[in-house]
Amino acid sequence: VVTPPPADKLLGFGAVSKSLADTVVVPAGYTASVLYAMGDPLTAATPAFRNDGTDTDHENRAGDQHDGMEFFPLSGSGAPSTSAIERGLLAMNHEATIDEKLSAFFLHPTGGTMSLPRPGAEVDKEMALHGLSVVEVRRNAAKWETVKESSFNRRVHQQTEIELSGPVRGNALVVTKYSTNGTKIRGTLNNCGTGKTPWNTYLSGEENWSGYFTRAATDDAARGNDKSVVSLKRYGRDQGAASRHGWETGGADDKYARWNLSKKGASLDGSDDYRNEMNGMGYIVEMDAYDKTRSIKKRTALGRYAHESAAFGMVVAGQPLAVYMGDDSRNEYIFKFVSTALWAAADATAADRIATGDKYLDSGKLYVAKFAADGSGQWIELSIANPLIAAYAGYKFADQADVLVNARLAGDAVGATKMDRPEWCSVNPANGEIYYTLTNNSNRRVEPSGASQAAPDAANPRVYTDMKGTTAQVGNPNGHIVRMKEGAAGSAATAFTWDVYLFGAEAGAAAATVNLSGLSADQDFSSPDGLAFSTATGICWFQTDDGAYTDVSNCMMLAGLPGKVGDGKKVTLNHARANGTTLAVDTYVGQAATADTLKRFLVGPVGAEITGIAETPDGKALFVNIQHPGEGTAAANAADPTKYASQWPSNAGYGAGKRPRSATIVITKNDGGRIGS
């Protein structure tokens, strides 16, 4: 008897309704199972997680706040593969810990210390929970499981030594007490989006690292208002800035002191000056998930900013490689790196994957995007040879390494377009077009009233404050997804065209000004963040990290089958100014969403962001991360499970204790079909 293949029409599933339940909802015919949660052991010797704050050995457990993630297939014999579907490695980012007050109160026995100084033991645990992990996963019969005793399992945390690679390596800006020749740093921090290289390594973006450092209240004058002051301010560290968790107060050891950018010790040679510590954070980091003996490298040629994902353009033999990236902060930029080396197809299976990374990611040109009102755009090279950069009045760049370390200032110098917070980007495998989520921007203004604010433009055209667009015009709460098509030169092009794939909106919002993509109740979303195309199905998966629509629904994941740049139409938005005049902004709206091209696929538990997308090469198992369930629980309620905003995943039958935990889920289709069909 031959069983006919399952019906496999993409987006054939029934759309998931918006939900406020403390559970993961997927379409009928699908199963979502919890696979790997914060604290799960990664060695045979590490005890099961008690989840009551008393656990130890976090350097050998899953970190917190699972974010971007990639799947690395393993053959039956444990060799690297590009096609295996029953065994593999999940490499993932552990971005952060719960943000309320100074501490991460679900991590410590009695909720953590909410005042300074922080106990060293709490800081040690929190530093161990930030970073990366690699965990082996296998399918046994129909069930996916982690392999606790796998020799591939790996943790990277704030005490892990990481190499600086590329043009910044050895530069004076990264000389520290820890690395007097500027070649290494401890740790990778606030890792958010991810990427996968054509040679099968893992890329991780360091995002909100600056918030972990503190500066003294009178630091500007103490440093003579030197250029380090300009740089620190541009990256969000005004003098007097407090650190997110007070790690610098954990003790006298310099593993704590290094988080204080103002700290100057007694030595005459400056070796206990921690000024440059932050210059070692903010990069795309490359790790060989298959080989934990190899050092991890920060690829400085790709620039230093609040990185999300890193997506490769179409890979063509004999052509340079393009890597697309964004800087997620209000009014920041979109970037492209173009390799000096031309792609050699044999490198896809090179035995030394880190050396292959050296070849393609340590030398090249970094560009920033400038969008024009007519639907065109330019990539502007960030080079010390550009007179706008060399003679920039706002900051004196010393050399190309300084341009890369201070890529935001270089983007300012060339007049790049200030975007509505670029989050993930991904490349459509069908046509090479590049998609960027622009999650939201509370600083978008019709009438700019300060340096940190920006007027709407064609690529960032909406301003309003509520979901329906009925209140005053300040900010873009719902975000949108912009897409770009390279010019004839492909990866090396310096010109592109663009339009907006989708505008986030409430289904009932005004069609002419807010719900420009015509979203229905089965499709409406706010604040897109994670985004990745499936190479198995071509589906554009995207996920939300939303605060604007969470009174109506928890965060979610949607499946799209997009068209292409130029499918849409020009729309003019007329923004009323306070003085009675109108600011007219033209934009380009991709084709309206239909039930065949966009559907909600998943809604998560309470307080969680949905992020991270990875799949087996056949597209039949999809891994997704549920990040920070229970966010919003007040510190005062940290000891009482009945007052937690969420009890997921224990309420889904996973693990001990009631404290909410970030976790990876795996989604399969009950008929064995591809995910999204």
- Residues lying near ligand FEO in the complex (CB under 6 A) are found at 95, 192, 207, 308, 328, 423, 529
In whole angstroms, how close is the CB of 609 to Ca ion at the nearest point? 5
CA-CA distance, 316 to 486, in Å (whole number)? 14
Closer to Ca ion by Cβ: residue 99 or 522: 99
Q: Which does 288 bind (CB under 5 to 8 A by kind): Ca ion, ligand FEO, none?
A: none
DSSP-based helix, strand, coil % in the chain, nearest 5 = 15, 30, 55
For residues 521 and 429, the answer to whether their CB atoms sit within 8 Å is no
In whole angstroms, how close is the CB of 667 to Ca ion at the nearest point? 20
- What are the C-alpha distances in Å from 165 to residues 100, 121, 285, 355, 408? 35, 32, 10, 11, 20
* Binding characters for Ca ion, 567-606, by CB under 5 A (x = yes): ----------------------------------------
Sequence-distant (6+) residues with CB within 8 A of 312 are 195, 197, 198, 321, 322, 323, 324, 427
Residue 471: Cβ within 10 Å count: 11
Closer to Ca ion by Cβ: residue 190 or 515: 190
DSSP structure string for 491-520: GG-SEEEEEEEEE-B-TTS-TTTT-TT---
Q: Which does 524 bind (CB under 5 to 8 A by kind): Ca ion, ligand FEO, none?
A: none
In whole angstroms, how close is the CB of 147 to ligand FEO at the nearest point? 28
Closer to ligand FEO by Cβ: residue 207 or 457: 207
Q: Give me the sheet containing 663-669, strands edge to edge.
A: 30-37, 663-669, 621-627, 609-615
What the block records as the tokens of 402 is 């300084």
CA-CA distance, 634 to 632, in Å (whole number)? 6
Q: Which does 402 bind (CB under 5 to 8 A by kind): ligand FEO, Ca ion, none?
A: none
Closer to ligand FEO by Cβ: residue 530 or 560: 530
Closer to Ca ion by Cβ: residue 65 or 179: 65
Q: Which residue in 107, 151, 164, 431 sits closest to 281, CA to CA?
A: 164
CA-CA distance, 599 to 522, in Å (whole number)? 6
In whole angstroms, how close is the CB of 423 to ligand FEO at the nearest point? 5
Q: Which residue in 594, 597, 602, 590 sits closest to 561, CA to CA?
A: 597
In whole angstroms, how close is the CB of 355 to ligand FEO at the nearest point? 30
Q: Which does 420 bind (CB under 5 to 8 A by kind): Ca ion, ligand FEO, none?
A: none
In whole angstroms, how close is the CB of 579 to ligand FEO at the nearest point? 35
For residues 332 and 308, the answer to whether their CB atoms sit within 8 Å is no
CA-CA distance, 602 to 406, in Å (whole number)? 39
In whole angstroms, how close is the CB of 439 to ligand FEO at the nearest point? 7
CA-CA distance, 602 to 25, in Å (whole number)? 5
Q: How far is CA 180 from the centre of its chain?
A: 31
Q: Which does 207 bind (CB under 5 to 8 A by kind): ligand FEO, Ca ion, none?
A: ligand FEO
Q: Binding Ca ion by CB under 5 A: which of 288, 423, 457, 499?
A: 423
100 binds Ca ion (CB under 5 A): no
For residues 316 and 337, the answer to whether their CB atoms sit within 8 Å is no
Closer to ligand FEO by Cβ: residue 132 or 621: 132
Q: Binding Ca ion by CB under 5 A: which of 486, 529, 615, 631?
A: 529
546 binds Ca ion (CB under 5 A): no
- The CA dihedral of 17, 18, 23, 25, to the nearest 10 degrees, is 30
DSSP 8: -
Closer to Ca ion by Cβ: residue 146 or 611: 611
Element (H, E) at 54: none
How many residues form the binding site for Ca ion (CB under 5 A)?
A: 5
* Cis peptide leading into residue 528 (ω within 30°): no
Q: Binding Ca ion by CB under 5 A: which of 189, 192, 321, 502?
A: 192
CA-CA distance, 451 to 262, in Å (whole number)? 26
In whole angstroms, how close is the CB of 674 to Ca ion at the nearest point? 26
In whole angstroms, how close is the CB of 178 to Ca ion at the nearest point? 28
What the block records as the tokens of 478 is 């719902």
Closer to ligand FEO by Cβ: residue 70 or 308: 308
What the block records as the tokens of 87 is 């065994």
Q: Which does 631 bind (CB under 5 to 8 A by kind): Ca ion, ligand FEO, none?
A: none
Closer to ligand FEO by Cβ: residue 211 or 469: 211
In whole angstroms, how close is the CB of 632 to ligand FEO at the nearest point? 17
Q: Binding Ca ion by CB under 5 A: which of 402, 506, 545, 615?
A: 545
- Torsion over CA: 260, 261, 266, 272 (sign): positive
In whole angstroms, how close is the CB of 91 to Ca ion at the nearest point? 17
Q: Which does 486 bind (CB under 5 to 8 A by kind): Ca ion, ligand FEO, none?
A: none
Q: Minimal CB distance to Ca ion: which residue?
A: 545
In whole angstroms, how close is the CB of 192 to ligand FEO at the nearest point? 3
Closer to Ca ion by Cβ: residue 248 or 546: 546
Closer to ligand FEO by Cβ: residue 219 or 423: 423
Closer to Ca ion by Cβ: residue 126 or 609: 609
Q: Which residue in 519, 541, 669, 668 sits closest to 591, CA to CA?
A: 519
User: Footprint of Ca ion on this chain (CB under 5 A)?
Assistant: 192, 423, 529, 545, 609
